[in-house]
Amino acid sequence: MQSVKTISDQALTEQERHLVEQAQAVAVLKPMRVTLVANSFIATTSAAFLWHDTPDPNIVVWLGLVTLSNLLRLASIPWLARMAQQPGMGRRVLTILTGSAFAGGILWSTIALLGSGIGTEGNHGLIVFVLAGISAGAVIQSNACARPPMGMSFPALTAAVLGLLSQGTFTGLVIVLNLVLFLIMLTRASLHNEAAFVRTEIARIRSADLAASLQVANHKLERLANTDPMTGLRNRATFNVDVADAIDTHVPAALLLLDLDRFKQINDTFGHNAGDIVLKTFAARLQAVTHQEDRVSRLGGDEFAVVLLGENALERACALASLMLDAACEPIDIEGRQIVVATSIGIAHAPQHARSPKALYESADTALYAAKQQGRQRVCVYESAMSEQMERRRIIEFYFQRALERDLIDVLFQPQRLLHNEKIVGFEALPHWKVPKIGLIGQAEMVEAAAALGLSEELTRHVARRAALLAHRLEQFGHTDIAVSFNVTAAELKSYAVDAMLLDVVTLAGVAPSRLTVEVPEQAMLVAEDARDRLMALSKVGFRLAIDRFGGAHVTIGQLAGLPIDHLKIDREFLAGLATSPEKQMVIGAFVGIARALSATIMADGIAAQDHTEALRLLGCRIGQGSFYDAPLSAKKALDRLTEATSAGAAPIRGNA
């Protein structure tokens, strides 16, 4: 059988070797106290028997040495036990134990010289019996390692063999042969026991390692199952459990839903690596402003959630939302470029706003949508009226595609007039739709529905086709100087080839591109990376260009320079209180100056009162449109209105029908 030193042949690692040797040392030490007590008892009775047979002072000396040896070995047990617990010290302990056992065996071997000795017929039976007995006992008591019991047995049995051989008798020779066989059997049994112990210990160690590995793997799997791998935050599955637990235990809870404003544009502009950096940075900032007991999750994409628990959860949520807005706006450095992101936040409370996990999420999502509708970078707490708005949006989206396919969306045209004489110089095409169960909805809601359903191109094509048909009719009536405008969103400039689609529209309608004006929101210059290229492509094929809602997105003149812009259309928010606001008058005066610098015409939208007209005209604005002059008209009524105005010699003809 193999000893522990050859166990490494079975692919035993160094760490496993140390652990096996440590286990061997502990196992050998465990019965050692009992073994030494028994050893002392046997030594005492043997000495008494020998003394009775032949009184000899050496017997007392021998007994004293054996007793002293056993006492020293007993005293060393605690020290050896502590040493055995130290990493890599098992082998040293086994070596010490083997040495002390060998010393004990040497002492026991001298018993053959005591009294009348083993050489006489009277004593050799007892001495051989005692030496064989303690040898067998050593092997029985120490089955973890062969060296200590063999260290004890070999000198003891060797002394017996030599003593018997010295007799030179046949009986002694027979006993010697039996002792040699006994020694071989003891050696074999001891090695077999050690090998079995080592195999068992290796199996135990490897089982423990496997169990530990499985535990680590399970922990990793659990972490993967419950954690977002990119940010380290809780994931949607854990979020669902958090919300469900709060509802089920009736603990007041506030839910904050957040997403990053225009995150897709960051991804499209700077790449997905930049987007990942933004997500990780935002997640770290969320953790920095929340407490350990707050549950922060990433639900996917750029959507995050925070669950707060406790009686004052709603108040804490509102305070936390303010911190989150500030934290989100801190610039993020990406390859030397400073990127500024913002977040919108919706808040809902259970049980105040909802009594189920689904309702709580939907309420917070509704509030988040309201925050975006208010201009983004806002915080909204759920109100019941918001659910009505969500239901309204759901109904609009439900009917929208069918209405578009069946040509149920009408297009009306609002005249654009010169402010000094109210002459009609253009029309703006505006989609007009009455939704079942709701009624008339505005252009903004239609644009949102189209974007949500992926039908923006179809809606714009529909409006542009109607605009082109009106332009064709205007040509037939001789109004070749009047253009018809329509809107294209910033998202459309990025998502498809607007110029190719519009060129197809005018070709089918039989009109020149110059008869149509494409109105693009000022915001497109900031969020659409290739907006300039798209606008240049539109101008190149002949379309006129207008920057809509000018002044609201704070585009610099440098960003507009070089673009073939025909009109700058002032954002209607600047018209409120214009007649009495020197600040707004100065701003519009500056806009007029920018338009002149760009060789463009300044226009105003949303004129609702006479004082708007007078103030705008005095500030240098040439063209305007709004309810003060005309409501949007059908194509037929738009032509009629133009005919009436022409017949009247450009006299002020206004009306809502």
Return the axis-axis angle of helices 443-453 and 456-476, rounded to nearest 10°.
130
Supply the pLDDT for residue 655: 58
Structure tokens at 163: 């003593």
Please state whether the peptide bond connecting residue 582 to the residue before it is cis, i.e. omega within 30 degrees of 0: no
> C-alpha distances in angstroms, 637 versus 13, 422, 431, 656?
93, 17, 15, 10
Least confident piece of the model among 264-268, 467-471, 533-537: 264-268
Q: The tokens 């225009």 sit on which residue?
A: 262
Average pLDDT over residues 429-454: 89
Supply the pLDDT for residue 2: 45
363 vs 651, more confident: 363
316 vs 147, more confident: 316
With bands split at pLDDT 50, 70 and 90, how would you rate the model's confidence at 470?
A: very high
**Structural domains of the chain ordered from first start:** 4-211 (no CATH), 236-382 (3.30.70.270), 394-647 (3.20.20.450)
Q: How many CB atoms within 10 Å of residue 178?
A: 13
Evaluate if residue 517 carries a pLDDT over 60. Answer: yes
Supply the pLDDT for residue 649: 57
HSE, side-chain direction, 13 A CA sphere, residue 581:
15
Nearest CA to 310 out of 323, 293, 325 is that of 293
Average pLDDT over residues 15-26: 82
Q: How many CB atoms within 10 Å of residue 155?
A: 22
HSE, side-chain direction, 13 A CA sphere, residue 141:
23
| The model's pTM | 0.56
Q: Is the Cβ–Cβ distance between 605 and 623 less than 8 Å? A: no
* CA–CA separation, 365 and 360 (whole Å): 9
With bands split at pLDDT 50, 70 and 90, how would you rate the model's confidence at 3?
A: very low
390 vs 319, more confident: 319
> C-alpha distances in angstroms, 179 versus 65, 118, 131, 166, 185?
26, 14, 10, 15, 10
Nearest CA to 588 out of 619, 624, 555 is that of 619
Supply the pLDDT for residue 8: 43
Average pLDDT over residues 24-45: 83
Evaluate if residue 294 carries a pLDDT over 50. Answer: yes
Supply the pLDDT for residue 542: 94
Task: Report which secondary-structure segment, H or E, holds 550.
Answer: strand 544-550
Report the amino acid identity of residue 470. Answer: L
Digit-coded pLDDT (tens) for 563-609: 899 999 998 888 888 888 889 899 999 999 999 989 999 999 999 99
Evaluate if residue 652 carries a pLDDT over 70. Answer: no
Q: Is the Cβ–Cβ distance between 379 and 321 less than 8 Å? A: yes
Evaluate if residue 446 carries a pLDDT over 70. Answer: yes
Structure tokens at 154: 């070999």
* CA–CA separation, 467 and 508 (whole Å): 12
Q: Is the Cβ–Cβ distance between 384 and 374 less than 8 Å? A: no
With bands split at pLDDT 50, 70 and 90, how would you rate the model's confidence at 123?
A: low
Digit-coded pLDDT (tens) for 322-335: 999 888 888 888 77
Supply the pLDDT for residue 6: 44
Q: Is the Cβ–Cβ distance between 545 and 517 less than 8 Å? A: yes
Bridge pairing between strands 343-350 and 337-339:
unpaired
With bands split at pLDDT 50, 70 and 90, how would you rate the model's confidence at 252?
A: very high
Task: Report which secondary-structure segment, H or E, holds 428.
Answer: strand 424-435
Average pLDDT over residues 528-552: 86
Digit-coded pLDDT (tens) for 171-211: 778 877 887 887 788 778 878 888 888 888 888 888 888 88
HSE, side-chain direction, 13 A CA sphere, residue 420:
5
Average pLDDT over residues 412-418: 96
Evaluate if residue 654 carries a pLDDT over 60. Answer: no
* CA–CA separation, 141 and 131 (whole Å): 15
496, burial (CB in 10 Å: exposed 0-12, middle 13-18, buried 19+): middle
Highest mean pLDDT among 48-52, 292-296, 429-433: 429-433
Highest mean pLDDT among 108-112, 147-151, 234-238, 262-266: 234-238
Evaluate if residue 504 carries a pLDDT over 90. Answer: yes
Evaluate if residue 4 carries a pLDDT over 60. Answer: no
Digit-coded pLDDT (tens) for 346-386: 999 999 888 899 999 989 998 998 888 777 788 999 988 88
Supply the pLDDT for residue 10: 55
Q: Where are the alpha helices (DSSP H) in 271-356?
A: 272-289, 313-328
Angle at 312 between CA 308 and CA 313, to 5 degrees: 20
